[in-house]
Amino acid sequence: MAKAKKRTRGVVWRIVLLLLALGMAASALVVGEQWRRYQTFADQALSSTNSERVLEVKPGDSFIRVLQRMRAIGIAEGRDWQWRALAFELKVLERLQVGEYTVGHGISPRQLLRKLEAGSVIQYRFTLVEGWSMRDLRAALATQEALGHTIATMDDAALMAALGRPGVHAEGRFLPETYHYTRGVRDIDLLKRAALAMDTALSAAWAERDDDLPLQSPEQALVLASIVEKETGRAGERAQIAGVFIRRLRLGMRLQTDPTVIYGLGAGFDGNLRRRDLQTDTPYNTYTRTGLPPTPIAMPGRDALLAAVHPESGKSLYFVARGDGSHHFSATLSEHNRAVAKYQLRRQ
C-alpha cells in the first residue's frame, strides 16, 4: 500500500513538473512574440502623410504628454507601453529636448526618439538684407511667426537700452546676414546676435583700414559704409563709390548724396525727391552740410564695410546713375554735367 502511494505521488509530481515546463515554454513563446513585435515596432517606418508633421516638446513636458501630442498629430503606430519601453531603452525619458521636430516620411519610432534626445529641432531662418533701414528691419521681424515678439512697444531708444547700448543710434547697428533660430526665441535676442555680429565685422574692417583715411573712428566708417550700401547694389562699384566720397571728404567738398537727404526726410518722403528737398537743411542733408551725416542711414553689409576702409584710388569726384543699376564716374564737373545730360535724357 505504501509503495502504491509513493508511486502515485511520483506520477503527480511528474505531471506538475510537466505542466510547469509547458507553462514556462508557453510564457517564453509569448514573451518572445512580444519582443519580436516590439523590435518590429521600434524600427518600422511610421505611416506617411501628405505633408511632414511637426511634434512640439514644451518646457516641463513628461514623456506621457509628448506621447499624447504624437497621437494628436496622427502617429497611431505602437502601443503606449512600447513607446515608453523604447524611450526607457534609449534613455530619452530624462533627456527630452524642448523644441519643434519634423516627423518626416520614412522615420521610425527609434529614429524619432533619438531626435528628441539629440535636440535635432527645426531651425528657422531670418535674413537681414543689406540696405534695410530700422523701419524695414522691424517690419520684417514682425512677420516671423515663430519668433517671440517683445520689441513692438519699444521705440529705438528703448530697444537699444534693452540691448545694453543706451544712447546708441539703432540705425546701421545690425549686420545683414542670415540668422537661424528655433521657435520661441525672442526677437530681441536675435537682434542681440545681429548687433554683436556687426561689432565684430566693423572692428575687423577698421583694424585693416587703409592709411590716411579722413575717417576718425569705426563709427564714421560705419556711416560711410551705410551711404555706399544705399548708393549702389553692384558689388564691383562699392569701392569706386567709397573712393569718390573719401576724396570729397579730403577736399572738404559736400558729399551731395541723395540717400542721406531721403533718410533725413523720414516718413515724409513720398518716393519723389524734389529740388526743394535738396535745399531744405536737416542734419542728414549732405547738399547743405559738409562732412558725414551724424549716424548711419541703413544697415551696411560686410562688402560695404570693406569698401569704406579700402576705397578705390582714382580721380573721380562725381557719379551719375546710368539707369541700368550702374554708374558713370567723372573726374571733372564739366564731364559730370555731360554725363548727367546724357543719362537723364535717356531716362526721360
Residue 32 lies in a domain: no
Q: Is the pLDDT at 78 greater than 50, yes or no?
A: yes
**291 and 180 share a domain?**
no
**337 and 233 share a domain?**
yes
Residue 58 lies in a domain: yes
**81 and 154 share a domain?**
no
Residue 47 lies in a domain: no
**249 and 180 share a domain?**
no
pLDDT at 1 (0 to 100): 54
Residue 81 lies in a domain: yes
Residue 13 lies in a domain: no
**164 and 219 share a domain?**
no
**244 and 281 share a domain?**
yes
Q: Look up residue 268 and give its DSSP letter.
A: G
Buried/exposed code over 66-81 (b: 16+ C-beta within 10 A; e: otherwise):
bbeebeeeebeebeee
Q: What CATH number has the domain bearing residue 109?
A: 3.30.1490
How many Cβ atoms are within 10 Å of 20's Cβ, its own excluded?
10
Residue numbers of the domain that contains 253: 211-347
Interhelix angle for 218-231 vs 258-265, to 10°?
100
**Distance (Å, whole) CA 342 – CA 323:** 11
For residue 236, give Cα distances in angstroms to 111, 202, 207, 240, 325: 48, 20, 22, 8, 11
Determine which of 9-23, 89-103, 140-154, 226-240 has the lowest per-residue pLDDT on average: 9-23
Q: Which of 91, 118, 145 is the last residue of a domain?
A: 118
Q: How many domains does the chain have?
A: 3
pLDDT at 269 (0 to 100): 85
**171 and 298 share a domain?**
no
Q: Which of 181, 201, 221 is the last residue of a domain?
A: 201
The arithmetic mean of pLDDT across residues 322-336, rounded, is 89
Q: How many CA atoms lie within 13 A of 343 on its CB side?
A: 17
Residue 292 lies in a domain: yes
Cα end-to-end span (Å), the chain:
132
Determine which of 22-31, 309-318, 338-347 has the lowest per-residue pLDDT on average: 22-31
**260 and 313 share a domain?**
yes
pLDDT at 27 (0 to 100): 56
Residue 295 lies in a domain: yes
Residue 6 lies in a domain: no
The per-residue pLDDT of the chain, averaged, comes to 89
**171 and 254 share a domain?**
no
Q: Is the pLDDT at 82 greater than 70, yes or no?
A: yes
Most confidently modeled of 39-48, 72-81, 126-135?
126-135
**83 and 184 share a domain?**
no
**316 and 224 share a domain?**
yes
pLDDT at 12 (0 to 100): 47
**304 and 338 share a domain?**
yes
pLDDT at 39 (0 to 100): 86
DSSP 35-85: HHHHHHHHHSPPPP-SS-EEEEE-TT--HHHHHHHHHHTT---S-HHHHHH
Q: Which of 159, 176, 201 is the last residue of a domain?
A: 201
